[in-house]
Amino acid sequence: MAEGDHHQLTNPALSPPPPLLDPNPNPDPITPTQLQNGHEAPGKLEISPKSEEFMEAKLLKQKFEMLKSLDRNSRRRSPRLVENGGGESSGNTANSGKPPLKKQKSGRKISFFIGDRVPPDEARRRWPWRYEENNVHFSGQNNIGHASKCENDDDDEDQLILNIKCHYSQAKVANVVFNLGDCAYIKGPKRGPNYIGRILEFFESEDGEDYCRVQWFFRAQDTVIKDDGISHDEKRLFYSTLMNDNLLDCIVSKVKVVQSAPNVSLKGRPIPECDFYFDMKYSVDYSTFSKVITDTTDLPSPSPPMMTTGIDTDIKCIVDEASNSGLCKPELALLDMYAGCGGMSTGLCFGAKASGINLVTRWAVDMDEAACESLRFNHPETQIRNESAEDFLDLLKEWDRLSKIYANHEVKELKPRVREVDEDKNLKADGKRNHEYEVDKLVDICYGDPTETGKRGIKFQVRWIGYSSKDDTWEPIENLGKCQERIQDFVLKGIKAKILPRPGEVDVICGGPPCQGISGYNRFRNVDSPLDDERNRQIKIFMDIVDFLRPKYILMENVIDILRFANGCLGRYAISRLVHMHYQARLGIMAAGCYGLPQFRLRVFLWGAHPHEILPQFPLPTHNVVIQYGFPSEFERNVVAYDEGQSRDLEKVIVLGDAISDLPPVGNDEIHDNMPYKKSPETEFQKYIRASESDMMGSSSSCTSTCNNPVLYDHLPYPLGNDDYLRICKIPKRKGASFRDLPGIVIGSDNSVRRAEEQSLMPSGKPWVPEYAISFRDGRSTKPFGRLWWDETVATVFCFPDHHSRPILHPEQDRVLTLRECARLQGFPDYYKFCGKLKERYRQVGNAVAVSVSRSLGYSLGMAVQKLSSDKHLMTLPPKFSHSTTIQLKSPSSDI
């Protein structure tokens, strides 16, 4: 939306516009590397506007013309191969060209069919659509490889050849015989590698042309990974169900492609002798890498069974090994990296519990001390580490080493054990202490430099005999040479208590590694090499932790800029790392408003799953949403949304009034952290957000949804200075009000603001409108000192209620939104309390993953764990899921 535009657009389906299609027929053979390219779409989510939402004629005309343009391409594109391959344009990649699809020149043919024709009856049975009467154009990829009738001839890059004369079972190319099912090199671009595919059909058209139908394999560079594919094994391919028709003379030579079982263990299995191998399937939708299911009954009938001549099944792909091992574990262990105050892990645990899975946050790591205090208050059972992710990774490695030393066998040749002596025995005859202190016990462990000595390493927190906990010190392990049994006692107890995870002990790792180097507020971003920027290093550390611990599932969250900045380099890197470790992967873009919150908040989520597990799906929206801004057009097929024309039953948009109208009024100078509710909940959202923790978790506690939290936490605003408070008191209490309603300014014909000639001043002598408000966005913005309204939503909850640059004023009270109001917009239940200074608490809420979004993902995770989800990309949540507690979802008698 343009600056200063208060009109918001409701998009019932959140169905993104597809890229514009090339109207020119493409006669060339279409190949997997070309799938990534497409014309730029406007990159907006705005579709299906309601005319009453536009009050200005000029704005109405502008948006209507844009939406008309998008509507012409409103179908979500099926996996198509378009003219230029593998990049933004044909000049951006070595795989941009294609061999010409044209008639053979006169002379001796080097490619032709051999043997008898396939009998007509058999051919019609195997390929009936080729011979149907009154054929119309078909789309070879409309439903993932199955030829089906195309309703729109504009998208004709992959028209099915229909004027068929006959089929063959064999062909000879350059004196080499090819059979159906053989794998082959297919002509690639000039000075580029040949493509690789599997031959599904040989047929001759009525006009005498010889064709073959090819099912494609992807190289890593041909997928969403792009340039980072260079780090992958050059012999590794990715199976796909993408196929199309090509002239027979595009075949170059035979290749041997074998299937190998994916393996995430540190010791890789040997690959048999071959030209290439594949162990995963790639789909362009949601950039999905998934295990190959050997059951081909659902594959299109033009494709013979996957394991036939040309593809050697050296190792049978393991599909449901985990499901054969018995029931699910009674409890799954979660590690929350970059945990903040716990929004992501809290929501995941809520959602998993609603699905029937007990997911427990065993460990959490964050550098923010106040955020860790919030975690401890709300999750007392969690092992919380207040340290950097780098130090945590080094600690994990040292802890695993110590565990192997002290737990697997007894320590030999121990030095004399430190004697346990009384306080009096540590005194000399004259009453003074000995200079040699004796260790009572070890109470904690870390890796780093907690005492700022300049030396990083493994350190123990030591409790000394005769001293209290306030006298504990951090000592390097080298200084505890005489305390081997003390170390052993600590390690053995730590292993039993699982104070730190070891490889194989973590079921789920979640986290949102910060990437400050791509922030739009950063003027010194490294566009050429974002991964070399120290501020973007955390995404590497996160993946290194995954690599070390090897969990069953991974969920990474991040801002949308990881797909916008530098051609999505960081997002592609994250996918590449998972796939390189042989994890399945799926990337989606989700809007918080689609899951019952009054804010838009677009975020990127990346699932990872062990190849023996089901890759979790993305949950489809439950609510209509008010669109606030767009997404990267290159990743429009990653937006979690209903397809155009797909049946959906969405609830109405949740607006500000739905979320906060029941909260008691407070002033700008409110100082009380706790206060009673003064009104009963007025909406379903308010009933849900007031629910107790036992209801959210579905526990068997006697406290039900009728026993809500009697105390309201954190309902106080960040106090404004005297001048700003006087300013907001003059902002009218109406929709769209802002600094433009203050005295002393004039609004020009171009909608820009300038100072009036005659100025009225505040009691402090300052102008009513500060200079930064006038100069913001060249004076055309309406955001400074903007007042929200009950029927509106917010774009995003930020880390600070900055009324200088965005609308954050309460509709009817002269203050910014309180901490609790912001927490509600993020989906935090009212019982969730935040710790630290008020500014620190605002930051925790703004940095958090919206709880309602992570809850929906937790449900999806739980279904995957129980093998109850399919291999489709998306799933539907239960009715009324977003505003129903686990207790309500479990109770068949609940009116939800």
Catalytic residues: 515
Judge contact between 613 and 262, C-beta under 8 A: no
Tell me 793's DSSP state. -
Amino acid at residue number 604: V
What residues have CB less than 8 Å from 405, skipping those under 6 apart? Answer: 411, 491
Which of 614, 615, 616 is closest to 321 using CA atoms?
A: 614
Beta strand pairing call for 146-149 and 138-143: antiparallel
Rounded to whole angstroms, how far apart are CA atoms 280 and 293?
9
* Two structure tokens written together for 667: 């002033």
Q: What are residue 337's phi and psi, to 5 degrees?
A: -90, 145
Q: How far is CA 875 from CA 353, 523, 556, 625, in A?
A: 17, 40, 19, 18
Q: How far is CA 282 from CA 239, 557, 617, in A?
A: 6, 21, 15
Residue 817, judged by CB atoms within 10 A of its CB (0-12, 13-18, 19+), counts as: buried
Rounded to whole angstroms, how far apart are CA atoms 457 and 718?
41
Amino acid at residue number 798: F
Tell me 404's DSSP state. H
Q: At what angle do helices 389-407 and 538-549 cross, to 10 degrees?
A: 20
The greatest distance separating any two alpha carbons of the chain, rounded to the nearest whole angstrom, comes to 114
Q: What are residue 245's phi and psi, to 5 degrees?
A: -95, 140
SS3 call for 360: strand
Rounded to whole angstroms, how far apart are CA atoms 663 and 530?
44
* Owner of token pair 């001043």: 761
How distant is the alpha carbon of residue 192 from its chain centre? 33
Beta strand pairing call for 383-386 and 359-366: parallel
Residue 408, judged by CB atoms within 10 A of its CB (0-12, 13-18, 19+), counts as: exposed
Amino acid at residue number 875: M
For residue 557, the cross-strand partners are: 605
SS3 call for 402: helix
Rounded to whole angstroms, how far apart are CA atoms 157 and 163?
17
Q: How far is CA 140 from CA 161, 184, 289, 429, in A?
A: 10, 20, 21, 95
Tell me 676's DSSP state. E
Q: Where are the beta strands (DSSP E) in 9-104?
A: 9-11
The string of DSSP codes covering 442-504 is: EEEEEEE-TT--S--EEEEEEEETT--GGG-EEEEGGGGTT-HHHHHHHHHHHHHHTSS--TT
